[in-house]
Amino acid sequence: MGPAIEISGLSKKYPLVKRYRDLIFHPFLQEKMVALEDVSLSIGKGELFGLLGPNGAGKTTLLKILATLVLPDKGRVMVNGYDVEKRPAQVRRSMGFVVSEERSFYWRLTGRQNLDFFSSLNNIGRRMAPERIETVLGITGLSRDADRMFKDYSAGMKQRLAIARSLLPDPEILLMDEPTRSLDPSAARNMRDFVREELVARRGKTVCLSTHNLHEAEEICSRIAILHRGKILACDKPCRIKALIPSDGRIEIRLLKKGTGDINDVKDFCAGKGDVKPEISENGREIRVLAEPANKGEGISLIVRDFSAAGYHVVSCTPVEKTLEEAFDMLTGE
Amino acid sequence: MDKMAAFLKRDLREMLSYKLAFIGEIAGIIFPLLTFFFVSRLIEGKSIEQLVPYGGSYFPFVLVGIAFSSYLMISLYSFASIISTAQTSGTLEALLSTQTDLPAILLSASVFPFIRGAVNVLLYLAAGVIFFKVKFVNPNIAGTLIITLLTVLCFAGMGIISASFTLVFKKGDPVMWLFSSLSGLLGGVVYPVSIMPVWLQDVSRWIPLTHSLEGIRKSLLAGSPVSGISDEIRILAFLSALLLPLGFLLFSLAVRKAKKDGTLTQF
């Protein structure tokens, strides 16, 4: 089984708009801005892949190339085995581009009427269309609101209708450009759950989504590519990307309280230790201590021994994992 | 056909949802007619040589000129307008992400403006007959339809060229500007071409609208048979054969350029 998306050596530059002065003095000179540079990656079938990067990183350009809306300058881009330049019609048959822009709908038509229109453009016959529309409305949870005008939809419903539209031809691959951009935290969480559980886990779709939300990428994507200024800086599982940056030596110790002791006892206890710079937090009976021992191996043993000797029950002692945000900052140099 | 029907349904639903605009459009037909009706009363009873080939009265002359030129201009404007409206409203990206190619989208989306334009022509003519007592004696309907069809094809060619400019340059389309300005001035919409200086009459022969209106007026107002408008038919057929393929060629080049520059959906 081949990959759903395969990109090798993809580069794209956009011509910059000329100033009047340049039109006169340098009519044949065309300055260009790099959008993508030598990008290569492969996305497996049924994978939930995240393109992570700040604004202007090249995420949208990459998605638009996959959606055949922009032509690449160099490199080869295959979607479901079809070349985006040579077989654009087959590519569009294989994938659905979730256009999150809410203006991409007709506001004075209902949700159902919008889907009816787009189903015709996706070659869904008049007989099949009502059933297919009902199916995608059901999948996206919009059945009850299908006959309301689009202008009366909430931001979350508009986003769901965008997904419903992309699901009309039942594509194997879905491309999503910042699907939670305009959603409130609760709606964004629902959308993430929907993408992960309904689209990928249940329906086996391949989803490639772009986001600049690190938390979102880490939470739902099986793999992510960090794009920065058109280049891929890392492409792997989130945990492996986090592991790319060296640990700073901090350890997290989880303790259980002594019978009557409280968090202040731990603070007092730690105050006497030179190599323990504690950040203490309490979660029920459990106390979490972040320590930064000067001497890694021996230092850790001594801290654990001292806590045990003082009557604390040490539940766990693990090196503090770097966050994706820290990995992202280190990789992008920002 | 399914796609044309889908666009038709979408546009009809949208149009009917803007009720005031719909009423405004009807008023937009009546008011210009009233203006020219009063102008025609100024010259009522005078024999004007230049109007003789078209029945001799000014008001029927201008009625046909306004009704058909507005329809023919739709062929010119609608294609570029479809592109720029979809760009500015934000729907173009969604349309292009479907399994329908841009040329098919363009052609399907143009059906509604053409039907709407045809209805407007009928309304113009009906208003002329009902409210302004215009009489069409022995009109050659077949000749009128042949000329109209050829002009639509010819203007559609220009319109598609204009849409190509819109795709690449977004605004400031010189084709539209030049063609519509010259057509309005020299095409004989509200006055006969023969009233202009000879050198301007020579220029007007290069404008398709001149031949269209000439053929339609001869057919509709003077009842000329098809043989009487054969010159107009030949010229318009030649221009259609030239402009339509050129339009499609330029349009495909424009789509490629816009996709290469990444500006397909920008405006």
ipTM of the complex: 0.77
CB contact under 8 A, A103 and B91: yes
The residue count for chain B: 267
Place of tokens 């929907």: A194
Give me chain A's average pLDDT, please: 85
User: A9-31 pLDDT, tens per residue?
Assistant: 999 998 887 777 877 877 777 78
The residue count for chain A: 334
**Res. A79: pLDDT tops 90:** yes
Q: How far is B35 from chain A (nearest CA, A)?
A: 35
Closest residue in A to B8 (Cα) is: A117
At residue A297, the pLDDT reads 67
At residue A275, the pLDDT reads 61
> B261 and chain A: CB distance < 8 Å anywhere?
yes
User: A105-160 pLDDT, tens per residue?
Assistant: 999 899 999 999 999 999 998 889 999 999 889 888 888 999 999 999 988 889 88
Identify which of A35, A97, A125 has the shortest CB distance to residue B97. Answer: A97
For residues A13-51, one letter each, b for 16 or more C-beta atoms within 10 angstroms of the residue's C-beta and e for the rest, the string is bbeeeeeeeeeeeeeeeeeeeebbbebebbbeebbbbbb
Closest residue in B to A89 (Cα) is: B99
* Other Cβ atoms within 10 Å of B87 Cβ, number: 19
Choose among A155, A121, A113, A120: nearest CA to A137: A113
Q: How far is A125 from chain B (nearest CA, A)?
A: 8
> A125 and chain B: CB distance < 8 Å anywhere?
yes
Closest residue in B to A63 (Cα) is: B97
At residue B43, the pLDDT reads 76
Q: Cα-atom radius of gyration of chain B, to the nearest Å?
A: 20
Longest dimension (CA), chain B: 63
Q: Any idea which of A40-54, A222-236, A298-312 has the lowest mean pLDDT? A: A298-312
- For residue B246, give Cα distances in angstroms to B88, B158, B171, B243: 26, 9, 21, 5
> A71 and chain B: CB distance < 8 Å anywhere?
yes
Under the banding of pLDDT at 50, 70 and 90, the label for residue A278 is low
> A228 and chain B: CB distance < 8 Å anywhere?
no
- Using an 8 Å CB-CB cutoff, list chain A residues near B99: 89, 92-93, 121-123, 169
CB contact under 8 A, B10 and A109: yes
> B253 and chain A: CB distance < 8 Å anywhere?
no
Mean pLDDT of A191-211: 89
CB contact under 8 A, B13 and A109: yes
* Other Cβ atoms within 10 Å of A269 Cβ, number: 18
Under the banding of pLDDT at 50, 70 and 90, the label for residue A261 is low
Specify the DSSP element, H or E, that contains B254. Answer: helix B230-261
- Using an 8 Å CB-CB cutoff, list chain B residues near A73: 260
In sequence order, the β-bridge partners of residue A82 are: A79
> A243 and chain B: CB distance < 8 Å anywhere?
no
Angle between helices B19-42 and B2-17 (to 10 degrees): 80
Give Cα A25 to chain centroid, integer Å. Answer: 45
- Using an 8 Å CB-CB cutoff, list chain A residues near B265: 69
Under the banding of pLDDT at 50, 70 and 90, the label for residue A83 is very high
- Using an 8 Å CB-CB cutoff, list chain A residues near B102: none
Among B13, B16, B99, B266, the strongest candidate for a mutation testing the A interface, having the largest count of A CBs within 10 A, is B99
CB contact under 8 A, A103 and B93: no
Among A16, A71, A150, the strongest candidate for a mutation testing the B interface, having the largest count of B CBs within 10 A, is A71
Identify which of A15, A64, A106 has the shortest CB distance to residue B10. Answer: A106
* Other Cβ atoms within 10 Å of A309 Cβ, number: 8
> B21 and chain A: CB distance < 8 Å anywhere?
no
CB contact under 8 A, B93 and A101: yes
CB contact under 8 A, B14 and A106: yes
Give the integer Cα–Cα distance in Å for B106 and A297.
71
Give the integer Cα–Cα distance in Å for B229 and B264.
42
* Other Cβ atoms within 10 Å of A275 Cβ, number: 14
Q: Tens-digit pLDDT profile for chain B (267 aa)?
A: 788 889 888 888 888 777 777 777 777 777 877 888 888 877 777 777 787 787 778 888 888 898 888 888 887 888 888 888 888 888 888 888 899 888 888 889 888 888 888 888 888 888 888 887 888 888 899 999 999 999 889 888 888 888 888 888 877 677 778 888 888 889 888 888 888 999 999 999 988 899 999 999 999 888 889 888 999 999 999 999 999 999 999 988 988 898 888 887 777
**Res. A267: pLDDT tops 80:** no
Mean pLDDT of A254-276: 69
pTM for the structure as a whole: 0.78
- In this structure, what token pair is assigned to residue A176? 């999503």
Tell me which long-range contacts A284-287 makes (C-beta under 8 A, separation of at least 24).
Answer: A285/A256, A285/A257, A286/A254, A286/A255, A286/A256, A286/A257, A286/A315, A287/A254, A287/A255, A287/A256, A287/A257, A287/A263, A287/A312
Specify the DSSP element, H or E, that contains A269. Answer: helix A263-271
Q: Give the residue with greater pLDDT, A332 vs A133.
A: A133
CB contact under 8 A, B97 and A35: no
- For residue A148, give Cα distances in angstroms to A114, B91, B244: 11, 19, 42
Mean pLDDT of A46-50: 93
Identify which of B6, B256, B261 has the shortest CB distance to residue A121. Answer: B6
The residue type at B146: I
- Using an 8 Å CB-CB cutoff, list chain A residues near B98: 92, 118, 121-122
Give the integer Cα–Cα distance in Å for B7 and A8.
38
Q: How far is B249 from chain A (nearest CA, A)?
A: 19
> B116 and chain A: CB distance < 8 Å anywhere?
no
